[in-house]
């Protein structure tokens, strides 16, 4: 059950980024909060518990290798969404999750076509 984004979540994530600038969790947290994506949604995507995701966001725990590949792909997607101005997502939680799925599909198609181009060259 998603608790949504609290008003102080971004402040806590930014504080964690300042304390641990190279930590993946707070970086993921900032990308997610600025995109209006809840910890619950992140937890569903990577298969972790929502509270674990909050600990990552706030720098209270490191992302373990078991989640590394999924977090790397998700971070790449969110970074692309930010760089192409596809954030913040808007609407209800369901609408935001649908938008995220659409962007993930679009991003995957771009990445796959790029890989094909390099292989064809």
The predicted-structure confidence for 49-61, as pLDDT tens digits, reads as follows: 999 999 999 999 9
The answer to whether the Cα torsion of 89, 94, 97, 98 is positive or negative is negative
Residue 113 pLDDT greater than 90, yes or no = no
Kindly state the percentage of the chain with pLDDT values over 90.
81
Given a contact cutoff of 8 angstroms between Cβ atoms, the answer to whether 66 and 19 are in contact is no
pLDDT digits (tens, 9 = 90+) for 5-34: 677 898 999 999 999 999 999 999 999 999
Average pLDDT, rounded, for the chain: 91
pLDDT digits (tens, 9 = 90+) for 41-93: 999 999 999 999 999 999 999 999 999 999 999 999 999 999 999 999 999 99
- Listed in sequence order, the residues at least 6 apart from 15 whose beta carbon sits closer than 8 Å to its beta carbon are none
Q: So what's the pLDDT on residue 1?
A: 44
Q: How far is Cα 2 from Cα 14, in angstroms, rounded to an integer?
A: 21
Q: How far is Cα 6 from Cα 3, in angstroms, rounded to an integer?
A: 8
């Amino acid at each position: 059950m998603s608790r949504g984004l609290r008003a102080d979540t971004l402040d806590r994530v930014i504080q964690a980024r300042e304390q641990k600038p190279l930590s993946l969790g707070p970086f993921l947290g900032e990308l997610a909060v600025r995109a209006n994506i809840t910890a619950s949604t992140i937890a569903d995507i990577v298969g972790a518990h929502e509270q674990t995701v909050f600990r990552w966001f706030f720098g209270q725990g490191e992302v373990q290798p078991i989640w590394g590949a999924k977090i790397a792909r998700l971070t790449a997607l969110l970074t692309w969404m930010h760089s192409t101005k596809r954030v913040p997502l808007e609407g209800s939680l369901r609408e935001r999750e649908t938008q995220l799925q659409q962007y993930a599909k679009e991003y995957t198609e771009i990445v796959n076509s790029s890989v094909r181009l390099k292989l064809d060259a």
